[in-house]
Amino acid sequence: MPILSIVIPVYFNEASLPSLEIALNALETDLASKGLGLELIFVNDGSRDRSLEILREMQLRRPVNIVLNHLANRGSMSAIQTGLVRVTGDCFTFLAADLQDPPEMLVEMVEHWRGGDRFVVRTRSSRSDPTLSQFFAWLNYRLVRLLIMPTYPIGGFDMAIMDRAFLPHLLRCGYNKNLAMFAWSLGIPARIMSYHRREREHGTSMWTFRKKVNYFIDSSIGFSVRPMRLASSLGFIIAFACFCYTVIVVTGKLLGWIHVPGFTALAAMLGFLNGCAFMFLGLLGEYTWRIYQEMDRHADAVVEEISTEPAKNDGL
């Protein structure tokens, strides 16, 4: 029987876990009616509320649950990667514990996976978040498409069913990487579906503005040369302007336009040296990016072995 594995990072979610348990029990029943099993992997990311205690109670009621615990908070991406190590299912996903992304939508997504889609994505067509949060989310994904991945879904996504073929690559994903963006960057064609992101009903989000900004910076630097290339190009433009200024100052001195003693020599020297500095910084950035590319653990290709036997998720 094919199995869907769900990794659920938990951080100060004691208020939402009881409702999440009910939703997951309903999901398991729906999947079982379609001949699918469910593997649940919870990762408590250093919560200092009753989250871990509630997870243990849930495990008593469903002993096959896997509960992992970070002794200190390491962030949701780190928690997801911790859970991915324990995944044994034929397909997998990661799900927020706050129920803003409804678990019941996974049933339809798994059906598409069974139909042959290796990557099924739910993009957010709308969201019940505060106006300011909606604006920054809109700005974030526009910048992502401009600076990092032009093909990335406009509304972004957190929900995605991935074939097991994704797993080894996500496990090698580097520190502070955006796992959803990393999965998209592998280039595997995705079936895109949309949904309305619900308003958070339980507890308070710990996903602060500062964390969002740091997350965007990490994603930008980790996935694309474009931010560095823009900075490098700006450096060369400034260097060119400095050299032009040096020529203008020297020419002005020779033509008698400048009468201040020592100004020409000082301006020419500063313009030339600043131009060289910006140019060398641009070159240094280009070489640094190539070193990063060599050290990065991004997949060159996702390879599937072809055999005469039917694929594992065919004919189910």
Higher pLDDT, residue 183 or 312: 183
CA 38 to the chain's CA centroid: 25
Q: pTM higher than 0.85, yes or no? A: no
Q: What is the DSSP letter of 50?
A: S
Point out the least confidently predicted range of 58-62, 267-271, 310-314: 310-314
How confident is residue 247, by pLDDT bands cut at 50, 70 and 90?
confident
In a shared domain, residues 21 and 92: yes
In a shared domain, residues 249 and 210: no
In a domain, 261, yes or no: yes
In a shared domain, residues 37 and 98: yes
In a domain, 305, yes or no: no
Please compute the mean of the pLDDT values over residues 121-139 and round it to a whole number: 72
**pLDDT greater than 50 at residue 235:** yes
In a shared domain, residues 253 and 129: no
In a domain, 303, yes or no: no
CATH number assigned to the domain comprising residue 186: 3.90.550.10
Between the CA of residue 34 and those of 29, 40, 106, 110, 234, what are the distances in Å?
9, 18, 12, 10, 57
Residue 296: predicted pLDDT: 61
Tokens of 61: 């009621």
Residues 171, 179: Cα–Cα separation, whole Å: 10
Q: How many helices (H) and strands (E) does the chain have?
A: 10, 7
CB of 184 within 8 A of CB of 136? no
In a domain, 25, yes or no: yes
266 burial (CB, 10 Å; 0-12 / 13-18 / 19+) is exposed
In a shared domain, residues 12 and 45: yes
In a shared domain, residues 171 and 268: no
In a shared domain, residues 16 and 109: yes
29-78: pLDDT as tens digits? 999 999 999 999 999 998 988 999 999 999 999 999 999 999 888 888 88
Which of these three, 223, 254, 286, is where a domain ends? 223
Point out the least confidently predicted range of 1-5, 112-116, 204-208, 212-216: 204-208
**pLDDT greater than 80 at residue 186:** yes
CA 149 to the chain's CA centroid: 11
Which amino acid is residue 47, in one-letter code?
S
In a domain, 301, yes or no: no
In a shared domain, residues 217 and 252: no
280-309: pLDDT as tens digits? 877 787 777 667 666 665 555 666 666 665
Q: Identify which of 105-119, 160-174, 229-243 has the greatest average pLDDT.
A: 105-119
In a shared domain, residues 51 and 118: yes
Residues 293, 298: Cα–Cα separation, whole Å: 8
Sheet hosting strand 119-127, strand order edge to edge: 66-70, 37-45, 3-10, 91-94, 157-163, 119-127, 191-197
Count of all residues that appear for the chain in the document = 316
Give the chain's mean pLDDT. Answer: 82
For residue 73, what are the domain limits? 3-223
> DSSP 3-state assignment of 7?
strand
In a domain, 264, yes or no: yes
In a domain, 316, yes or no: no
Extract long-range pairs of 264-272: CB within 8 Å, 24+ residues apart.
271/242, 271/243, 271/245, 271/246, 272/242, 272/243, 272/246
β 3-10/37-45 pair status: parallel
In a shared domain, residues 23 and 129: yes
Which of these three, 190, 223, 256, is where a domain ends? 223
In a shared domain, residues 29 and 163: yes
In a shared domain, residues 260 and 214: no
Higher pLDDT, residue 14 or 241: 14
Which of these three, 206, 223, 240, is where a domain ends? 223
Number of folded domains in the chain?
2
In a domain, 304, yes or no: no
